[in-house]
Each structure stands twice: as structure tokens, then as C-alpha cells.
């Protein structure tokens, strides 16, 4: 009748215990000691952890940066998600200037419909503001888009000013939507780029130099001040620095409510990947992302921020470009290197290996930051994000005994490198279920036709 | 065969969902949709929440303050706990100066053995220090006592100095024990008391004046500095002030790990209860506790601290003295008023009513701070503190539709007043189970013979 | 041959002592005990303090706000300065958009030339930015203008963005010029004004509401971050709030160097002057200045900031408009009320009365903040700002025994009200010298033809 | 009749200007351009700076640490002071436990009377507390001792507890005395020493390890909290660390008033002088002082603190012990190494060379921190600490063109090493006057009989 998952160790954001799980249809229907088989298919999870499917809060599939399109589209991107143990992603529909939000959403639906291997939702990126856009925010809620994204960077393109942030936050508060922010001071970055260029500093090494920590930490403080004036909460995407985190703590001391996301790359990589100033290697272009990689010092602070509950979600910020043919457009001019890197496939494995096994977080904290908190923050809990009776049977059976190394050659995501090449990955997805359906069995992807559904969020 | 609890809404620190629960023996054995009755007794939880039994991290039953004994002993105290929805308490065995820890523990076992209505454990209060005591800490671990309490106040009596704190923290780190601290600067309190007396300020009004916020916030900063030097974590009991919380946040910014407890009285009462300076009323003596009640401003900060995850446990600091015959010993001299107030009975109801219904915290946060976090922090998870397969069936079926007011006349705890007299209490314990046994059914205490067990903690 | 000032008590930023002073030509030539008369005119300063002439760092004479011209021009404004004990003012030449700095300076010279009763210099207000303006900054240095002013408020008018601030600070660092900033977030003020208007909140009461402390404190933090990136120092004009001061201290903790100015109005007046929300009185328009008046709490913090050396200069921000005929343009719409108030005349008297006699600062600190520090910061020391051999004989003989009350009826400045109406003023200018010339003798202005000179600063 | 000092450049805490100075008797009587000779002896100061004589706020001459007596007594110490340009020192009379303050003062007078080459005063060190001591504080004021010193370190010896600090601060506030504090947590140091010893860590390398920055920063925060409760000001001696300075700034943000002193060794030396862990050299013992030397990072912060006005005085903490025969008592046990180092002789030269010429402070700031501020803080201004008419003619004529290197071989202080061996010293004392008397002429000490006087402070 259903599927009976036997012998696994269930891990939620709070609990860890041995029990069997029965899935019927798309849902978890019971959890118990030695559940009896009543016409179910039995699948063994013996020796394995049972996690709620991962939720990646931050992807950019089939996205266009100028004339360049990301290497991964929704098909390859969501397939990589499933392979990595992520059963839900939240991608971005981003309004072009002058475009309506509806149109932006329509286009994103068109790109994603019918090709997704995992379930998916959208944040709506707002880059333009007027009364119509403001009204459209309400329409978006009705379309299941309850979170909006704004950029304090990318001047002349995505960047919005403080007045627009204020208005959007007011509107968001009114309609109970969550606003997400890319926090970097775009005006200053423009100037720093201009300085670098006028000094003939065109190599990728300068990517991190023109986006110093202070442009992030300043933007964070400014955003949180506006949120304080409006008296509302905000979500900060891809926090990269200790200084930024300290500014968040200062705002919290004043009573500002803020959700914070970071990414595996900010937890595990540092700016030495950009190489030396005089290096002629272009390898560092693989790490040209914004905000840029920081110091070991910042990594430590971010792990601490997770432990102390300041950082509650981990997105991949997957935005992949091929090293050959895409990244290399900027070989003579770092500002032309498309910003972004892949990450959706290895997010869970890295957090398990370096977070849990590395002794930095507990296994319950791993579930919280890779799945549960995301579901709660973005309005899909308890449908997603937990192992509980009545929830979607999005389940990862994680075999902790398998060892491997990350390698672009073996990856599912459709890009020619991995920023985590050579990193250890302990454990793997042995079985995986999406809404009760088997998608991976015995470490083989068996989902032949993508059946991921759009998530209408609340 | 077992008990089948049907139709309730299960609430854990993370999840909220409708499901049935089967209890067999002392444990939860399955949770599911429409579980079938297989020879079980069926009890309806329809329309009710199902919480894990409350865990009160901080009680003082049958305690002696000088020559005065608390109004509640283990029998009346644990009975009140059960009545209020608390199935576990952690009380204090406190070493007298010169006494061994073993002896202190033996005496506490003697007082509590066979008379407790709920399960119980002990913190060991250390007031004296030498190599033997240090060694005894390890013995205590073997006795199931994994947390130790020290006082930075009560000079000449319980107070230990910074050197002892350092040594105890080092030892605690070595044996993996948690040290808990009462943070007030006892030296300064002594002087402020002396000043008050020499100015003829003997009324209870001065109790709060001689223990200003700064003596708490200073002690916190000092403790956390010592913890930073030792590189270990600590637990701060009964935090009462915003300034104290801000100092904790500053220490966290430096990477210090600290657990924080507060109490319902600091969340709900303020120093206006001490009356005016010139008042002749002695009513305020009911609120003579240490630290003293603070301002509304501090209450707000503490609620915010709960929401932001800085404060993770709520203890009652139950230490009851009768108003007549005990508190009134200090009618002419506030320093003679025995410090303490009752609280174990109403802790859960107050947090539910003023926290959850007051819109300050979610119902999951309530479970986290009244039960789950305590279990995790003090080494009794997952046996206690959650609703999960395999855990002890310590279960509260909470009927949210019942309304009442707190009144000393109706209370179970054996003391002649309540500091929360007249406070609203929404909801009540409809049924309650301790290790699978029915202790309250239909709002009646049916546990006739106390069968609470000592908790051997890890 | 010269003038021998006998019997006074000389006060500098450091010293206080009795001595005679001989002035020859424009300079102080000797200071000593019982200096002998060698053909000098003797003027008694017995019973009086001898201060260096005041330096007002912040005036707007003959300024145009839209189509409205300030009530005071250079003639009346500088005459009021002299009457109040101020011998030097630094006014603002402000570039109109599209205009060259040279042209702006030329116009300001034209307005001021030959009509000033005291010596004067100019800050150059930059509102527009391009390579020519950047180059012109160097030209300005050659013209004796070594400080530049920028506005983070007044969107669409004076406001510059973060990129321009960055560029200007870099240029300023290169040419060793000091940049001064009006710190309020103009984007947010725009939105708050728009909100107020759309709610029908048009009365002057809302002036302070649309410019809350947070728009100042945010702008300060942002400015100081940009200064940190550029690694240069800045000058913050008219600091009004405690929160702003705390943010300055935080930046100082990171090593940012910043000079801070406040004004008598922020030290002595509070936002109760704006009246109640429903008040129909328009009196509060007299206090419509930007930033607006704050709380008593902020006043205390600013006085403390002076004592602790964080705030080093006091400007008047004199920018006067008549209550009748000018302020009342905004009677139906607070945004039309011209922003500004008079202050140059009473600055010294208020700081003496409320600062020194009020016990908040020492008499040496008064000299430091009203004169010496300004001279040092703005490149006119030791010519101005001290009582020392070789310095300009800009001397105020202050009779501390005279008492009066401030009243618009008696004032020299050409405006129909005083924001300090009814405030006590203890002491008065008995005699005053500008570059050795008698300008006030026996409390009478005897300077008939204005002979103030333009100060070529370094 | 007097002495006419011609052609020098006078430097005060505020002013820098060329003028002649006439000294008559013990005082400065006039300052002016081209003062005429009226029977005076003319001494040329051409090409030289004229500073007020230095004031060293912190010396320990003829002091006993256990059974060891400092290498310098009042005779050699004050002679070294004069040689280095310091005309006033404030030494310490320190009460032995059980001794009266009067007795302690009497003994110090006995040691110093008639043998001092410069003027001198005393701080009174209080190590014991009772009502008599409290009363004696008033007597001390009448004896010209207006500042008191307490130690938060040296447990069981000099250390006082928080209650005593509180009482002493209250008394000090009442009688308008300034209390000075050595801020290190002595309880913790005791434990860290004990840990080191039990690990066999006996070499001088561990001196700094057992006195980490946190024991200083904690003590500072605690002291300033007590000062906040008492609502009074305090003076912190020999600040050594950035963390300590940041804590001072935090207290200032809350409105606490505090004076801060540092020393040349904390500005110029770092903990690398203690050598490597495994080093067998005992050279580092020369730097065994408390607090210990810190990091370059701390030096930078302290210089910044001087610039921003947080640190206002520079004492030498001169407490000299010979390397051979005294320091080497601790060759096998670092806790036996007498704590202290010489410094009085080179304080002025080091601050001039590394502060002024190093571009860290202005020459006026040098005068402020080496002389003027000390005079103001400790009640001897304007008698001492400035170049002004009526002040004592304590004058240093500093020839900036002379270059030398510091070497123990050439020094006047009576100790066998210098911690600044090999440091450059630019400039030297060409002439020096103590109360109008020539003490150094043409770089030769001509004061044959010491005539330094005890300073009765107010």
C-alpha cells in the first residue's frame, strides 16, 4: 500500500531517534518502533540517517547576466539538487527594468515548467519601483510568491536606492511578505572598480579588492536601520563576513529582527583562491562571486554565527558559468567575468562533512540550517522541512559510510568545474523520496521524467 | 496493551501536526495518522495540544536559608509541578562549607527519595573549594549529577571568588560538566546593604536598590571573561536584566559560548511590586527575590532574547516562603526577609498565556524553552524533552479552551501566596502522563502515590 | 605705541592666569606680569576674562534657499558676530548645480567683500561632481579655501551619493583638504515626508518626525565607513543626537579619525519646542532646522561628548529667516518652512553661561571649543584661536559680572526672533579687538566701517 | 635681575610660537617678542624648542618588593629625571598592611627629603581598609597628597577587593580625591601562575602568559562599573592593551568619566622581547613588568588612544632592578623575578622621537601628555605643566638637532640595563630650569646639591 522505511535513524531539527516511517501517497503517515508491514514495500534504511529533503534557498538557474546564460538550466540544476539530497529549491524570478512582476513570473514559470526534478518556488527580484509594482507585490502573494529580493549592489542595473527599500519594506510589512537583500554598497563598488581600472588593475585578483568587507558591512547596517524605521523584519542573503555578522548582532541588540543566510563557499573557501597579485593564472575566476570569498577569520565567525543561531539558512547561491567559454570572457578585464559559481549539488554533503563531522555543528543543526529553517522562513512548513506525520514525504536516506571526493568530472550539474574540487564528501544519498516517490534508490537516480512541482508558498 | 492518545495536535520544539500517539510501557512507540487500536486504552486529546512534559531547570525544595526552611518540600513541590504540567524538575543539592559533595548529595537524596510526584535530578551547588571537592566533581558525574552551581553573590556564605570559578571551570571542562552561575557581585551588594542600613533604609523597598542591574551585568561580564580564558561554556541562571543580556551578546561577539536561563517573574513582573519608597505596606516582601524584579524595559529585552535564541531555558527558581511567619521576619530589616518565591506550578501556564497567546513567542518556542532545551542542556535528551518515538512518554495534553486566574487559594504548592495572584491562565492540563503512567486525567490528579524517579543524567 | 591691556585673566584652551598683554599693530607682542607702559594706550581688563576671539565654524549669511534669502547678510551677520564676541566666521560658498567652484567663490566674495565686521573664510559646498570640479578643488586651496562641504540630505538638490563622497574624500586626501558633511539620509527623509503628506500630516510638528535620529545615525556610520575605505579624516557638522555620537565612537574604536561639531541649539533646546501634535500654534516653526531638535537625553550626551573630547567645535549654523514673512510660508505645509535659525550672536554667551557656569565644561574647554579647535581644524592657527605672542590680537575682554536675558528686541542680528528668547546670558563683551583694532569698547560697538578681512586658509 | 631666554620656540599643550621668556625668581614673568634685557642674564634658546618641564606621573624610587629594594633611590631617580627633561615626579608612598597612612607618608618623606633633584609629590597606596584609613584619607589631603592608588592585582599582598574599592571611591568622591588603579584581576593571575607552575612552566616566557590581556580588560570593566555605581571618576594607571582601551570606550559611552595613563614601554615594546617558549636566554627578564608587554596591535591602539584624547598621561612606571643580582633571582622561577623596569630618564626623549618625529602625535600633544595633563589631573596646575606667565619656571630647552642612541652605559639612572637599549633618541636637553634655577646648561647637569621640593598638591 505504501512504503515502509525501516531501521533508519531519523534526524529532525530537534530529534534524533531510531524508528520506522510509513509513507502513503505523498505523505508521511506514521512513525514508530517496529511498524508492521501492511501491504507496504519495505525499504531498508539500516545504518543510515533519515533527513528531511534539503531546501536550497538560493539558486539562479537559466539566468541571464547580460548576454550570458548560466550553464545550468532548471533541468540540469534541479537534477543536481536531487542528486545532492535537495528536494526543494527556491529560485529567482527577476524583473527586468520596465517589466511587470507578472511578466517576470510568467517567464520563469515558462523556463521551469515540466523540467524540474525537484519541487521549486520563486523569490521575485524587484529592480524597479512604482505604484504598479507595489500593487503587483500583492498579486505575487496570490501566485505563491511570498518573498522578494532586492539588490543594494549592481549600480545602474539591479540596484535600488534607500527610498525604494523603505517603500518596499513598508509594503512587505503590510502584505506580510519577506524581503531579502543582497547587501553590498553598489555606489562604492563602482568607484573602487573605476579606481582599479584607472590603475591598470584588470586581473581577477582585483575582484575581491573592489568589494571589500566594509561595502558589505555598511550595506547591512543601512538596511537594518531602514528596517528599524519601518519596524519590520528582513532576510539577508549570502552573508560572507565577520564584520557583517557583528553589525547584525548590533542591530539585534537594538531589537531589529533579521534572518540571515550564508553559503558553503563562505564557510569553506577563502580569498587565497584568487591567487597572488602578480599571478598570471586565471584559475581564480572560478571563485569570482559576489560578495567575494573572505578570510579564514570570517569563516570561523560564520560557523559561530550558525551555532549561536544568528545564521539560520544555507543557500548555495548556485549560479554556474563554465570556466571555458564563459568565465574566460573576463580574462583581460575582471569586471567582465560573469559572477557566480555552482553549488546546489554539494551543499548538503559539504555541510554534513565539514559541519557535522568537522565538529562545528550538531546533526540536528545541520537539518535546521539546510532544510527546516528554510521551510519555516519561506512559508512551506510543515509541508516541507521536517520528518513528521502529515508532512510531504521528502526524505533523504543518508549513508554515512560512503566516502568520496568532489570532482567536476563526476558531477551532475552542467558546468565544467567545481569550486570544491577535491573536497572530501563523507556520506551519500542512498535513497531519496520526493513527495513519497522514489527518486534515488541505491544511489541511482531513478527519476526519469522530472515531476517537480511549483510550490505555492504562504 | 498500551494507551492510544487520539486526535491531539502534537507540538515539539520544531513541529506542529495532528497525529495519534501510542504509549507502551514508559515510552512513546508510534506516532501516526489514525493509528489503529490494538488492544489499547483510547484517550481523546481532541481539541488539545500535546506537549512534552515541562522541565523546570531551577527549583529549591526543602531548602534551608539560615534557620528557615522553604515552605515547599519535595512532596508538595513536585506535586505542584505535575499539576502545572511539569514532569521533570532539577533541584539543587548544595554543599555546606566544609561538607563533601557526596554528603550533600546523600542528604538531598534522603529528602527526595520516594516522595516526588515528578522525575527529578540535581545540580550540585559548590560553595567551598579544595582538591577533594575537585575530585568529587568526577564522582558526582558517576552519580548522575552533571551540572554544578556556583554563586558570585552571598558573600561569606555561598559566594566563591574568581580563582575558584576559574578552577571549577577548568575541572568542568575536563570532565565535560556544565557549570551554572548566579551572577551578582556579592562584594558590592554587601557594601550597598551596609550603606542602606547606615542610612536607616531598612524597608523592603531597598532590597532592589542594593542589587542594582550593574551588579548583575558586571558579574556576567566577569564570568564570561573567565570562561573565555578557560575556553569553555557556562550557564547563567535567572537572568533578569537587559544590560546583562547585552553583556552576554558582547561576549558572544567575541566567541564565548553561554547558555542563558530566565524566569517567568523577570518576564512578567516589574519593580513597581516593591511599592513606593515611603510605603508602609509589606506586600512587596512577596517579591523579595535575587536578582530583584527590574523594569518593563528589561522584560521586553528578555522576551526579545528568547525570540532571538539568546535565552534558551525558563526555570521557575521556585524557593517558597510563607508571607506570614517567614517573609515577615524581615519586616523591620529587609536583609532578614528570606529570598525567594514560588513558581513551579504556574511556569507553563504563564509562558503559554503571556508568551504564546501574547504573541511574543510561537508555540514551538514555548516547548523549546520550557522543555526541549532544558533536556538537551542538562543531559536528559531524548529521554525527556520531546515527543518522539522512543522517548519517555512524559506528555501533557493541554486544553487551550479553559480559562482561569491564578490564586493562592486554589494552588497545590504549599505556600500562602502567589506572586502571580490574579494573573490570567489560559488553558490547563487535561491529561498528563509520566513515563506512560496517567498522573492527571480529566484535570484531576490521579497519581496517589508519588512515583517520580531520580534522573541519572549524562 | 601699542595697546596695553592690564589686569585681566587670560584664558586659553590650556592656561588661565593673570597677566598684561601688549598689542602692537595687528599682533600680540608680549604677555607679562606688570608690563611697563612704553607709550601705549592702557585699557583696563580688571575683573575680566581675556578670551581669544570666538570662531564660528558654521554660518550661512546672504544664502538663498530656493527663492528665499536669509534674513541676515554678511553685514548684519558679522556685526552680530562681533557683538557676541566672535571675531572670525567661516561661511559657505555653495556651488549651484552645473556651476564651477570658482564661480561660486567669486559670488560669495562679491557678497561679502567690504561689508564684514569680522574676519571671514569660506567652506566650499560641492553639490555636483565631475573631473573639472575635482580639479577645481585644488584651485580652491590656492584661493584659501581648504575645507569642503557635502550634503547627504536634500535629495535632488544638494545631496550627493556615496560614490561622489568617495571620490571627493580621495581628492581631499590627496590635496590635504578637510571635507565636512551634513549627515542625514536624504532618501529616507524624502520617503518619510511623502508618508507624512499622504497622511495629511502637514503641520510643523512633523518636521522632526520625518527626520528621526536614525536617519542621522545611519548617515554618520555610512560616511565613516567610506572614510575608513579611503583612509582619511572627515568633519561632521551639527551633530544633534546621542545615537549619532555613539556611532562616531564605534568608528573611532575601529581607528577612524573624525572631527565633530555641534551647535548651541542641540545642547540647549529640545523637541518639545515643536509643540504637541494637535497644537495649532506655529511658534515651533522658529525651531525648524535640520537636523531637528532632539531630546534632553541627547543634550546630555552631547555635553558629555564635549567633555570627553569627542566633539571639538561649536558652530552656530546661523541661517536666519524671519518668523513673519519667511517661516510662515510653510504654515500649511511644513516642508515649505525655510530651514534654519539665527545663532551667531549668542553662541559665546550661551556656552559661557550654560556650559561654564552650568558646570558642564571648564573655562579652558569653552575657549577650546568656541575658538582654538576651530582655528586648528580649519587652518588658521596660530594666527587665530589663541592668546599667544605673535598671534593676531583678536581679543575679547569678557566682563563676567554683567547679567542679561536674550531677547530678539535687543539683538543685532537682523531677524525678528531668537530661538533662545528669554535665556539667561551671564557676562558680556566689555572690550573687543580685531587684529589689534578696537571694535568694542565699554560694551559699545565702535567699529563704524567694517574692516573684516577674508582669511586665506592653509 | 632675571634670566632672559631668547630665540626659542615655545611649545605648550596648545600653542607653538617664537618668543622670549623672562624668568625672575622661581617664576615666568613675561613672554614676548624681542623682550628687552633689563639687567638679565641672557641665555640663547635659538633653534630650540622650549617645553614645560616633564611630569612623570608614575615612579617607584627606593621601593621594596619583598626583601628586594629598587636599584634607584630618590637621589639617583630624580637625577635621571632631570637629565631626561623631567622636573616633577609623583612617586608612591605605599601603606604596609596594618600601617597607618601617616606612617607610610612619614617614611616616604624620610627617604626623599633633601635628596631629590627634581620636585616631587606622592600618591598614597592603600592596601588595607578600615574606618581609620578612611579618615586618614582626609588627613592626607591636608598633607598635600590628593591621589590614592589601589591594586586589583597582587593577591594576598597589595590587592583590595571590590567592596574596598567601592568604599574608597565613595570616600574619594566625598573629599574630592582622585583614585588610581592598577587593573589586573589578581585572583585569576594567581590561578594562571599556579597552572603554569604545576605544568613545570617556570621560565620568564610565562610571565606574559599568566597575565593575559583579558585579566586587564576584565579588571577595567569591573572598576568602571563600580565607579559608575558610585558616580565618580577614576584614573587607570599603565594601560597596556587595546582590549582594555575598548572597554574604557564602552564605559565612556555609558557616561563614566575616566583618566587613562600609559607608558613608553607599552607604546614601543612588544612581547617578542620575552623570547621564544623554548629559549634559554634570560634577557627577557629585563622586560618582566606588570602588566606585561603586549602586541604591536596594542601599541597601535594606544597611540590612537592618545590622538583621540582617551589616554591623557604618560608615566614611566620606573621601578628599576638590576639584571644582575636582582632580576636573576628568578632565573629558575619567573614568579621570583622582581617586576619593574627603569624609564624615568628616557620618557621625554622617546615620546619626542617616536611620537612626534614618528608622526603619531603633534608636538603640542607631546607637551600635553608628558606634562600639562598630568599637572591638571594631579592638582599642580598652573604651577607646573605649562609655559605661562606666573607659572613655575620649570623649563626644558630642547635641542632637536642632537642625535644619540639609548645605552645603559651612558645613563644616569642607577641600574645595569635599559629596556630601550639601542633605541634612537633625537634631541636632547640643552638647558633646563627648575623653578627658575639652572639645573642643566649646555647639556651638563650643574645642579650639584639637590634642591627638589615636595609638592603640596590640591
B302's grid cell: 528578555
Angle at D425 between CA D420 and CA D431, to 5 degrees: 125
Nearest chain D alpha carbon to B228: D214
Minimum-distance CB partner of D229 among B155, B212, B226: B212
Kindly give the pairing relationship between strand A234-236 and strand A178-182. parallel
Nearest chain D CA: its distance from C300 CA (Å): 9
Q: What is the pLDDT of residues D133-148, one digit of tens each?
A: 999 999 999 999 999 9
Nearest chain B CA: its distance from A35 CA (Å): 8
Contact A371, A53 (CB under 8 A): yes
Radius of gyration, alpha carbons of chain D: 21
Contact C19, D389 (CB under 8 A): yes
Helical axes A131-142 vs A101-112, angle rounded to 10°:
40
Return the pLDDT at A345: 98
| CA–CA dist C94, C116 (Å, integer) | 19
Contact with chain B for residue A1, Cβ under 8 A: no
Return the pLDDT at D65: 86
Number of CB pairs, chain A paired with chain C, less than 8 A apart: 62
Q: What is the pLDDT of residues C92-147, one digit of tens each?
A: 999 999 999 999 999 999 999 999 999 999 999 999 999 999 999 999 999 999 99
Return the pLDDT at B412: 98
3-state secondary structure chain D: CCEEEECCEEECCCCEEECEEEEECCEEEEEECCCCCCCCEEEECCCCEEEECEEEEEECCCCEECCEECCCCHHHHHHHHHHCCEEEEEEEEECCCCCCHHHHHHHHHHHHCCCCCCEEEEEEECCCCCHHHHHHHHHHHHCCCCEEEEECCCCCCCECCHHHHHHHHHHHHHHCCEEEEECCCHHHHHHHHHHHHHCCCCCCCHHHHCCCHHHHHHHHHHHHHHHHHHCCCEEECCCCCHHHHHHHHHHHHCCCCEEEEECHHHHHCCHHHHCCCCCCCCHHHHHCCCCCCCCHHHHHHHHHHHHCCCCCEECCCECCCCCCCCHHHHCCCHHHCCCCECCCCCHHHHHHHHHHCCCCCCHHHHHHHHHHHHHHHCCCCCCCCCCCCCCECCEEEEEEEEEEECCHHHCCCCCCCCCCCCCEEEEEEEEEEECCEEEEECCEECCCCCCCCECCCC
Q: What is the pLDDT of residues C391-414, one digit of tens each?
A: 999 999 999 999 999 999 999 999
Nearest chain B CA: its distance from A197 CA (Å): 37
Long-range CB contacts (within 8 A, 24+) of C33-38: C33/D27, C33/D29, C33/D30, C33/D389, C33/D390, C35/C4, C35/C6, C35/D30, C37/C4, C38/C1
Angle at C435 between CA C429 and CA C436, to 5 degrees: 75
Contacts of B368 in chain A (CB under 8 A): 14
DSSP A272: G
Contact with chain C for residue D12, Cβ under 8 A: yes
Q: What is the pLDDT of residues D362-391, one digit of tens each?
A: 999 999 999 999 999 999 999 999 999 999
C37's grid cell: 607702559
Identify the band that residue B37 occupies on the pLDDT scale cut at 50, 70 and 90. confident
Contact B308 A32 (CB under 8 A): no
Nearest chain A alpha carbon to B386: A15
Q: How far apart are the first and last CA of chain D?
A: 31
Distance of alpha carbon D348 from its chain centroid, rounded? 11
A 209-228 residues with CB < 8 A to C: 212, 214-215, 217-218, 221-222, 225-226, 228
| CA–CA dist B176, A121 (Å, integer) | 44
Contacts of C162 in chain A (CB under 8 A): 185, 187-188
Q: What is the pLDDT of residues B202-252, one digit of tens each?
A: 999 999 999 999 999 999 999 999 999 999 999 999 999 999 999 999 999
- b/e map D82-95, b = 16+ CB within 10 Å: bbbbbbbbbbbbbb
Neighbours of D451 (CB within 10 A): 15
Contacts of C167 in chain A (CB under 8 A): 191
In the beta sheet, which residues pair with residue B425?
Answer: B404
Contact C185, C217 (CB under 8 A): no
Minimum-distance CB partner of B163 among D188, D228, D229: D188
Contact B14 A372 (CB under 8 A): yes
Mean pLDDT for the stretch of residues D58-79: 96
Minimum-distance CB partner of D382 among C17, C32, C389: C17
Contact A187 C161 (CB under 8 A): yes
Q: Return the closest-CA partner of residue A25 out of A7, A4, A3, A44.
A: A3
Return the pLDDT at D454: 98
Contact with chain D for residue C29, Cβ under 8 A: yes
Cis before D382? omega within 30: yes
| CA–CA dist C108, D62 (Å, integer) | 67
> Could you give the ipTM of this predicted complex?
0.94
Contact D390 C33 (CB under 8 A): yes
| CA–CA dist B420, B289 (Å, integer) | 14
Contacts of B367 in chain A (CB under 8 A): none
The position carrying cell 577535491 is: A422
Cis before A382? omega within 30: yes
The position carrying cell 614611566 is: D316
Sequence-ordered list of residues with C-beta below 8 angstroms from that of A223, at least 6 positions apart, any chain: A152, A165, A181, A183, A234, A236
Number of CB pairs, chain C paired with chain D, less than 8 A apart: 103
User: In this complex, does chain A touch chain B, defined as having at least 3 beta-carbon pairs under 8 Å apart?
Assistant: yes
Contact with chain D for residue C175, Cβ under 8 A: no
Strand, coil or helix: B212: coil
* Neighbour-count burial of B328, counting CB atoms closer than 10 A to its CB (0-12 exposed, 13-18 middle, 19+ buried): middle
Return the pLDDT at B39: 86
**What is the percent of chain B with per-residue pLDDT over 90, rounded to a whole number?**
96
Contact C155, C191 (CB under 8 A): no
Cis before D241? omega within 30: no
Nearest chain D CA: its distance from C297 CA (Å): 12
Contacts of C192 in chain A (CB under 8 A): 229
Nearest chain D CA: its distance from B123 CA (Å): 25
**φ, ψ dihedrals at A354, nearest 5°:** -90, -25
Contact B33 A391 (CB under 8 A): no
**φ, ψ dihedrals at A91, nearest 5°:** -95, -175
Return the pLDDT at C65: 86
| CA–CA dist D237, D214 (Å, integer) | 16
Contact with chain D for residue B229, Cβ under 8 A: yes
| CA–CA dist A372, A366 (Å, integer) | 9
| CA–CA dist C242, C264 (Å, integer) | 15
The position carrying cell 520506522 is: A20
Contact C420, C9 (CB under 8 A): no
Residue B362: C-alpha distances to residues B351, B354, B357, C294 (Å):
11, 11, 9, 37
Minimum-distance CB partner of D166 among B191, B212, B228: B191
Return the pLDDT at D216: 98
Contacts of D212 in chain B (CB under 8 A): 229
Does residue B1 carry a pLDDT above 80?
A: no
Nearest chain B CA: its distance from A61 CA (Å): 31
Identify the band that residue B278 occupies on the pLDDT scale cut at 50, 70 and 90. confident
Contact C14 D16 (CB under 8 A): no
DSSP A331: S
D63's grid cell: 621601593
Distance of alpha carbon D300 from its chain centroid, rounded? 20
Q: Return the closest-CA partner of residue B218 out of B152, B313, B305, B159.
A: B152
Contact A32 B29 (CB under 8 A): yes
Domains of chain A: 3-51+391-404+424-445 (2.30.40.10), 53-377 (3.20.20.140)
Nearest chain B CA: its distance from A4 CA (Å): 13
How many contiguous H segments (helices) and E segments (strands) does chain C have? 13, 21
Q: What is the pLDDT of residues B147-201, one digit of tens each?
A: 999 999 999 999 999 999 999 999 999 999 999 999 999 999 999 999 999 999 9
Mean pLDDT for the stretch of residues C147-161: 96
**Chains contacting B (3 or more CB pairs within 8 Å):** A, D
Sign of CA dihedral C243, C244, C249, C252: positive
Contact with chain D for residue B246, Cβ under 8 A: no
Nearest chain D CA: its distance from C236 CA (Å): 15
DSSP C62: S
pTM for the full predicted model:
0.94
Contact A187 C212 (CB under 8 A): no
Sign of CA dihedral A406, A407, A408, A410: negative
Contacts of D191 in chain B (CB under 8 A): 163, 166-167
The position carrying cell 502567589 is: B418
Nearest chain D CA: its distance from C29 CA (Å): 5
Nearest chain D alpha carbon to C260: D308
Neighbours of C335 (CB within 10 A): 16
Sequence-ordered list of residues with C-beta below 8 angstroms from that of B268, at least 6 positions apart, any chain: B299, B350, B354, B420, B423
Neighbours of D103 (CB within 10 A): 14
Contact D228 B212 (CB under 8 A): no
Contact with chain D for residue C42, Cβ under 8 A: no
Q: What is the pLDDT of residues D289-303, one digit of tens each?
A: 999 999 999 999 999
Contact with chain B for residue D185, Cβ under 8 A: yes
Return the pLDDT at D368: 98
Identify the band that residue C1 occupies on the pLDDT scale cut at 50, 70 and 90. confident
Sequence-ordered list of residues with C-beta below 8 angstroms from that of B317, at least 6 positions apart, any chain: B58, B59, B60, B237, B238, B263, B265, B289, B340, B341, B343
Strand, coil or helix: A84: helix
| CA–CA dist C259, C250 (Å, integer) | 14
Successive 10-residue mean pLDDT values, chain A, 458 residues: 94 98 97 90 97 98 93 98 98 95 97 98 97 97 98 96 98 98 98 97 97 98 98 98 96 94 98 93 97 97 94 98 97 97 98 97 98 98 98 98 97 98 97 98 95 96
Contact C32 D22 (CB under 8 A): yes
Kindly give the pairing relationship between strand B395-405 and strand C27-32. unpaired
**Chains contacting D (3 or more CB pairs within 8 Å):** B, C
| CA–CA dist A419, A265 (Å, integer) | 8
| CA–CA dist B208, B193 (Å, integer) | 10
Mean pLDDT for the stretch of residues B366-390: 98
Minimum-distance CB partner of C222 among A170, A190, A218: A218
Amino acid at each position: 500500500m505504501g512504503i515502509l522505511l525501516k531501521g533508519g535513524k531519523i534526524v529532525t531539527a530537534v530529534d534524533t531517534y531510531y524508528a520506522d516511517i510509513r509513507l502513503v501517497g505523498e505523505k508521511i503517515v506514521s512513525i514508530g518502533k517496529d511498524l508492521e508491514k501492511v501491504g507496504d514495500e519495505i525499504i531498508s534504511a539500516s545504518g543510515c540517517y533519515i533527513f528531511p529533503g534539503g531546501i536550497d534557498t538560493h539558486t539562479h538557474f537559466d539566468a541571464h547576466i547580460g548576454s550570458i546564460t548560466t550553464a545550468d538550466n532548471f533541468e540540469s540544476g534541479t537534477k543536481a539538487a536531487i542528486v545532492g539530497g535537495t528536494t526543494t529549491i527556491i529560485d529567482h524570478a527577476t524583473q527586468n527594468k520596465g517589466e511587470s512582476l507578472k511578466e517576470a513570473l510568467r517567464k520563469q514559470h515558462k523556463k521551469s515548467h515540466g523540467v524540474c526534478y525537484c519541487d521549486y518556488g520563486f523569490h521575485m527580484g524587484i529592480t524597479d519601483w512604482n505604484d504598479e509594482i507595489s500593487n503587483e507585490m500583492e498579486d505575487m502573494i496570490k501566485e505563491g510568491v511570498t518573498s522578494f529580493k532586492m539588490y543594494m549592489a549592481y549600480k545602474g542595473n539591479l540596484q535600488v536606492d534607500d527610498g525604494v527599500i523603505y517603500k518596499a519594506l513598508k509594503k512587505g510589512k503590510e502584505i506580510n511578505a519577506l524581503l531579502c537583500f543582497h547587501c553590498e554598497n553598489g555606489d562604492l563598488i563602482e568607484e573602487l572598480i573605476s579606481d582599479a581600472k584607472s590603475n591598470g588593475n584588470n586581473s581577477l585578483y582585483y575582484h575581491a579588492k573592489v568589494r571589500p568587507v566594509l561595502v558589505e558591512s555598511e550595506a547591512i547596517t543601512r538596511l537594518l536601520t531602514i528596517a528599524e524605521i519601518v519596524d519590520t523584519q528582513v532576510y539577508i542573503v549570502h552573508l560572507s563576513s565577520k564584520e557583517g555578522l557583528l553589525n547584525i548582532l548590533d542591530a539585534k541588540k537594538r531589537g531589529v529582527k533579521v534572518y540571515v543566510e550564508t553559503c558553503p563557499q563562505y564557510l569553506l573557501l577563502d580569498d587565497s583562491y584568487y591567487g597572488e597579485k602578480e599571478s598570471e593564472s586565471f584559475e581564480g575566476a572560478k571563485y569570482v562571486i559576489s560578495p567575494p570569498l573572505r578570510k579564514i577569520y570570517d569563516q570561523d565567525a560564520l560557523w559561530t554565527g550558525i551555532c549561536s543561531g544568528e545564521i539560520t539558512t544555507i543557500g548555495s547561491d548556485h549560479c554556474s558559468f563554465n570556466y571555458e567559454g564563459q568565465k574566460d570572457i573576463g580574462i583581460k578585464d575582471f569586471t567582465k567575468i560573469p559572477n557566480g559559481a555552482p553549488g546546489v549539488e554539494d551543499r548538503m554533503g559539504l555541510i554534513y562533512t565539514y559541519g557535522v563531522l568537522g565538529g562545528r555543528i550538531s546533526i540536528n543543526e545541520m537539518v535546521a540550517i539546510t532544510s527546516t529553517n528554510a521551510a519555516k522562513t519561506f512559508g512551506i512548513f510543515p509541508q516541507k522541512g521536517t520528518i513528521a506525520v502529515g508532512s510531504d514525504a521528502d526524505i533523504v536516506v543518508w549513508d554515512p559510510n560512503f566516502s568520496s571526493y568532489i570532482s567536476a568530472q563526476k558531477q551532475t550539474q552542467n558546468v565544467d568545474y567545481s569550486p570544491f574540487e577535491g573536497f572530501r564528501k563523507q556520506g551519500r544519498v542512498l535513497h531519496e523520496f520526493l513527495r513519497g516517490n522514489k527518486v534515488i534508490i541505491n544511489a541511482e537516480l531513478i527519476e526519469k521524467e522530472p515531476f517537480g512541482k511549483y510550490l505555492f508558498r504562504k
